[in-house]
Structure 1
Amino acid sequence: MALTFRSDFSNEERFTGFDAHYMAVDVDECTEKSDEELACDHYCHNYIGGYYCSCRIGYILHTDNRTCRVECSDNLFTQRTGVITSPDFPGPYPKSSDCLYRIELEDGFLITLQFEDSFDVEDHPEVSCPYDYIKIKAGQKEFGPYCGEKSPARIVTQSNSVQILFHSDNSGENGGWRLSYSSSGNPCPALQPPIRGKIDPAQAQYTFRDQVLISCAAGYKVVKDNLELDTFQIECLKDGTWSNRVPACKIVDCGTPKELEHGQVTFATKSNLTLYKSEVHYSCQQPYYQLFPNITGESVQSWPLGHQGKRLSMCGQPSHSLPALVKRIIGGRNAEPGFFPWQALIVVEDTSRVPNDKWFGSGALLSESWVLTAAHVLRSQRRDNTVIPVSREHVTVYLGLHDVRDKSGAVNRTAARVILHPDFDIQNYNHDIALVQLKEPVPLGPHVLPVCLPAPEPEGPLPNTLGLVAGWGISNPNVTVDEIIGGGMRTLSDVLQYVKLPVVLHAECKASYESRSGNYSVTENMFCAGYYEGGKDTCLGDSGGAFVIQDAPSRRWVAQGLVSWGGPEECGSKQVYGVYTKVSNYVRWLWSQLGSPGGRGEVEAEAER
């Protein structure tokens, strides 16, 4: 608005002039602007004398200060499949924008584009896509421009690298577009599985990056570069070839069967073939061993039998029948060779503290490598009452010995371990039980066989049951260890003796010792055997020997007791019973020791039968 005031050259009358007032009223351009070109895309903000525009989050203001655009020039896709849309799809896409979408895959993959039917890009009825458009570049090829309401057809780019450019001008409210892309690799030739083999997965067609695993039927191995493998993997390469040829399947050669200790291996055919499905037969030295577990001799890819394929087939079964227990025997009797094949003579020569400190006792063979005996036999003879086992190098065990004057047929072994029961009490001989592990196993035969262990029952042997005890000390309690070792004895105890004794009622046994002077205590880990009137008993040198009772169902001899102690009187005295360690109370402890590293034997399995 402009105001002009003019006056001429004279004032004939008195004029006073004028006084005018004006007021400015601001116009809200955001609501009153009629010119659409001046309107804001998203938000309009009015101020006195003008207005300004702003955009929603994710948009930026164009240089015209009215249009809202997006920054979408750095979109990278590396997955083998995906979906790409215009900004804000399915809503209207922004104006004045240039969006670039790049799909970059590993060389060897080919990209395919597929637009959805909901396609809406501003076009012109006469000119091809002058306003908004989509252009696609794939390698040296270009596709487009595309616009309008009809979506482009499926585009096979034949390239692993694709660029999609989307341009919009500063006008329009179109809905945009959406496409999905996929990829496939160069195809590789079809594969045929090897003879007696298979391919996994089995497909009609394979493309780049597909992998297959070749394996063979049971009894065959994949052979690649002279190496036998369980499986072999190959891959389809980008140039449409396989990384390796399909290998062949070769029959397995099981190799020479392992030797079987105390047994033999024979081939089922004269050709002695060791290929898959060949048969061998394992057999053990009878009657002392049998296969464990039982096997057929047929193998898959390896012979099933190693060094643990045998087990003791018998225990407590001497080759000679022991005398019937219906007759009473007075005193000790000579044993025939093979009567007590489990009988062991244990000689201890501990000269580390006292010169010529030697003693001996008895024991019972449990397996090829273990001997059962009493703990006091293997206790170091110290002046105090400490319980320390003798050193293993001081212990020698004789097996298969009958006459001490002739040891040519006996087997002697040194000890690998000496194990006393941890609760052995030297004051009252409670828990008087021990084990000796032999440094080398002994060969079994008619004169060397193990005795059986009882079932782990706390009751022990029943009263009045007759049992047998053998030893070299029964007839002569005054024999020295030098005489035993040197064989210079001229008494009946040169030859192994045995005696038959009945089990005594436990209450009677306890009462017989409680009535005597001295600290004699018969515990629940002991039982008594013998005759009240005396005349027949075990004695010095018999300690640790087995008190055996024949099991009625199996007819096997079982070590129910170990010679432990007796009263102070002379062996075989009246009113004194021999006291024996009750082995059935310690069967589980024995199993735990035999099953320790280096100590596993066949005794546990035999006892469970």
Structure 2
Amino acid sequence: MSAVDCGEPDTSSDEALQLVDKDPSTLFHDEVRFKCESKYYTLEGDEKYICDASGTWTSVKGQEKLPKCIEVCGKTETDISSFGRILGGKPANMGEIPWQLLTKQPKRGGASLINDRWAITAAHVVDGYEESTLTFFGGLIDGKKAQETDPDVVVMATEKIIIHPDYIKGIPGNERTNYDSDIALIRMSSRVKLGPNVLPICLPEADGGFKEFQHGTVSGWGGTENKDKSRFLLYASVGRHPQMNCEETPLLSINKPMVFTENMFCAGGDGLDSCKGDSGGPLFLPKLGSGNKDNRGPYHLRGIVSWGSLCELGKESKKGYYTKVENYLDWIKMTIEREEQG
């Protein structure tokens, strides 16, 4: 009777999952241990598996399914200096907002990395380009370095762009009055190599965790006061307005008020809003620099820069409007699961 041999465990479905011993013995009663490729992942499941009599790797708890490497989200490695109220935006340091992505063509916009394969942006940034391959850049604060030839920048090509089905597509920006469901998911063509300057942000809990008058941080290379794009990544503190204030929307033209829905919130103040942000970029909590270095995050993506910024509507606008991410958690999770299984 031949000896039971479990063979080497198949880790091909999880590129971050590794065997501690590169060339393990795989016979009956032999043990293997698993680890993740870097500290930017955490092992979910059992670490140790044993080759059983049926030729199957089984964990000490009886699991046949191998463990998974899950991205650590919402943490930065950079010491973030604490500061008071920000007026006019503040340049970010490398690694302070490692989930921030930038695209320049065919439209300029931002996005947020949410795991090592997926990012999230505003639907209007990618509307009309679902069949195109777009390029996103990460791991940078200098927007001029956003080119495929720069060795220091992480370049990501899109494989699939999925716009929320409730978003009304195909309306030119200067005619659009309804940005409801302004959210899209982007699957990159290959796994993003995580590091200190490229890390995902956490999705929020569905808990209404961003309260009225609470402050969050918005970031991007968006227009500064004179409407120019900033060369360097900026971030600013913005306070959430009461819903009643948000319902008083600006007019696109004399007869066309902008639509406000329960899938949006608005924030700003002090003449400051997501003019600092790029469309599609993040609004996140806790506010950057709000705690000591032992209390850095985890940061959660609460909003996506959508419409109504100072840059578009002039100095009289004190409100930027954001897609409320927590309203789309089921869609995000179901879409990613469906695509990954498919």
Provide the TM-score with structure 1 as the length reference: 0.48
User: Distance between the aligned counterparts of 1:449 and 1:291, measured in 2?
Assistant: 17
Map 1:538-553 to 2 at 5 A: 538-539=274-275, 542-550=278-286
The question of whether the paired residues in 1 share the 8 Å contact of 2:130 and 2:162 is answered with: no
**What residue is the counterpart of 1:414 in the other structure?**
157
Q: Which runs of 5+ in 1 are unaligned?
A: 1-247, 349-357, 381-389, 480-492, 601-609
Give the drift of 1:571: 6.4
Q: Tell me, what secondary structure is at the counterpart of 1:424?
A: coil
Which structure is larger by alpha-carbon Rg, 1 or 2?
A: 1
| Letter paired with 1:546 | P
User: Distance between the aligned counterparts of 1:322 and 1:397, measured in 2?
Assistant: 25
Residues 403 and 308 of structure 1: CA distance in aligned 2, closer, same or farther (over 3 Å)? farther
User: Distance between the aligned counterparts of 1:599 and 1:418, measured in 2?
Assistant: 16
Q: Tell me, what secondary structure is at the counterpart of 1:345?
A: strand
**What residue is the counterpart of 1:500 in the other structure?**
237
Give the drift of 1:263: 4.5
| Letter paired with 1:578 | G
User: Distance between the aligned counterparts of 2:153 and 2:65, measured in 1?
Assistant: 26
The reply on whether 1:334 has 2:82 as its aligned counterpart is no
Residues 267 and 567 of structure 1: CA distance in aligned 2, closer, same or farther (over 3 Å)? closer
The question of whether the paired residues in 2 share the 8 Å contact of 1:432 and 1:581 is answered with: yes
**What residue is the counterpart of 1:566 in the other structure?**
308
Query: Root-mean-square deviation (CA), in Å?
Result: 3.0
Q: Tell me, what secondary structure is at the counterpart of 2:143?
A: coil
Map 1:133-148 to 2 at 5 A: none
The question of whether the paired residues in 1 share the 8 Å contact of 2:277 and 2:305 is answered with: no
Map 1:24-423 to 2 at 5 A: 248=1, 250-258=2-10, 261-267=15-21, 272-300=24-52, 301-303=55-57, 309-324=67-82, 327-348=84-105, 358-380=106-128, 390-406=129-145, 407-423=150-166
Residues 540 and 420 of structure 1: CA distance in aligned 2, closer, same or farther (over 3 Å)? farther
Give the drift of 1:323: 4.3
User: How many residues in Structure 1 have an aligned counterpart in Structure 2?
Assistant: 315
Give the drift of 1:570: 5.2
| Letter paired with 2:210 | P
Q: Show CA shifts across 1:134-174 (max 9, x none).
A: xxxxxxxxxxxxxxxxxxxxxxxxxxxxxxxxxxxxxxxxx
Residues 304 and 367 of structure 1: CA distance in aligned 2, closer, same or farther (over 3 Å)? farther
User: Distance between the aligned counterparts of 1:465 and 1:298, measured in 2?
Assistant: 51
| Letter paired with 1:280 | V
User: Distance between the aligned counterparts of 2:341 and 2:276, measured in 1?
Assistant: 30
User: Distance between the aligned counterparts of 2:88 and 2:279, measured in 1?
Assistant: 17
Work out which of the residue numbers 237, 252, 262 in structure 2 matches 1:524.
262
User: Distance between the aligned counterparts of 2:276 and 2:111, measured in 1?
Assistant: 13
Q: Tell me, what secondary structure is at the counterpart of 1:363?
A: strand
| Letter paired with 2:266 | C
Residues 520 and 460 of structure 1: CA distance in aligned 2, closer, same or farther (over 3 Å)? farther
Residues 453 and 438 of structure 1: CA distance in aligned 2, closer, same or farther (over 3 Å)? same
The reply on whether 1:595 has 2:334 as its aligned counterpart is no
Residues 262 and 332 of structure 1: CA distance in aligned 2, closer, same or farther (over 3 Å)? same
**What residue is the counterpart of 1:441 in the other structure?**
191
Work out which of the residue numbers 583, 599, 603 in structure 1 matches 2:325.
583
The question of whether the paired residues in 1 share the 8 Å contact of 2:218 and 2:276 is answered with: no
Residues 478 and 495 of structure 1: CA distance in aligned 2, closer, same or farther (over 3 Å)? closer
User: Distance between the aligned counterparts of 2:69 and 2:273, measured in 1?
Assistant: 35
| Letter paired with 1:556 | P
Give the drift of 1:395: 1.2
**What residue is the counterpart of 1:232 in the other structure?**
none
Q: Show CA shifts across 1:76-121 (max 9, x none).
A: xxxxxxxxxxxxxxxxxxxxxxxxxxxxxxxxxxxxxxxxxxxxxx
Residues 422 and 257 of structure 1: CA distance in aligned 2, closer, same or farther (over 3 Å)? closer
User: Distance between the aligned counterparts of 2:188 and 2:277, measured in 1?
Assistant: 20
**What residue is the counterpart of 1:432 in the other structure?**
182
Residues 577 and 333 of structure 1: CA distance in aligned 2, closer, same or farther (over 3 Å)? same
The question of whether the paired residues in 2 share the 8 Å contact of 1:415 and 1:439 is answered with: yes
Give the drift of 1:540: 8.2
Q: Tell me, what secondary structure is at the counterpart of 2:257?
A: coil
User: Distance between the aligned counterparts of 1:338 and 1:567, measured in 2?
Assistant: 26
User: Distance between the aligned counterparts of 2:200 and 2:309, measured in 1?
Assistant: 30
| Letter paired with 1:317 | K
The question of whether the paired residues in 1 share the 8 Å contact of 2:220 and 2:235 is answered with: yes
Give the drift of 1:310: 2.6
| Letter paired with 1:594 | I
The question of whether the paired residues in 1 share the 8 Å contact of 2:163 and 2:183 is answered with: yes
**What residue is the counterpart of 1:464 in the other structure?**
213
Q: Tell me, what secondary structure is at the counterpart of 2:248?
A: helix
| Letter paired with 2:107 | W
User: Distance between the aligned counterparts of 1:328 and 1:523, measured in 2?
Assistant: 29
| Letter paired with 2:231 | D
The question of whether the paired residues in 1 share the 8 Å contact of 2:80 and 2:96 is answered with: yes
Q: Which runs of 5+ in 2 are unaligned?
A: 169-175
Give the drift of 1:399: 1.7
The question of whether the paired residues in 1 share the 8 Å contact of 2:17 and 2:36 is answered with: yes
Q: Tell me, what secondary structure is at the counterpart of 2:49?
A: coil
Give the drift of 1:550: 2.1
The question of whether the paired residues in 2 share the 8 Å contact of 1:287 and 1:313 is answered with: no
User: Distance between the aligned counterparts of 1:468 and 1:257, measured in 2?
Assistant: 44
Give the drift of 1:274: 2.0
Give the drift of 1:293: 1.9
Q: Tell me, what secondary structure is at the counterpart of 1:359?
A: coil
User: Distance between the aligned counterparts of 1:569 and 1:413, measured in 2?
Assistant: 28
Q: Tell me, what secondary structure is at the counterpart of 1:371?
A: strand
Between the aligned residues of both structures, percent identity stands at: 33
User: Distance between the aligned counterparts of 1:465 and 1:572, measured in 2?
Assistant: 24
Residues 294 and 573 of structure 1: CA distance in aligned 2, closer, same or farther (over 3 Å)? farther
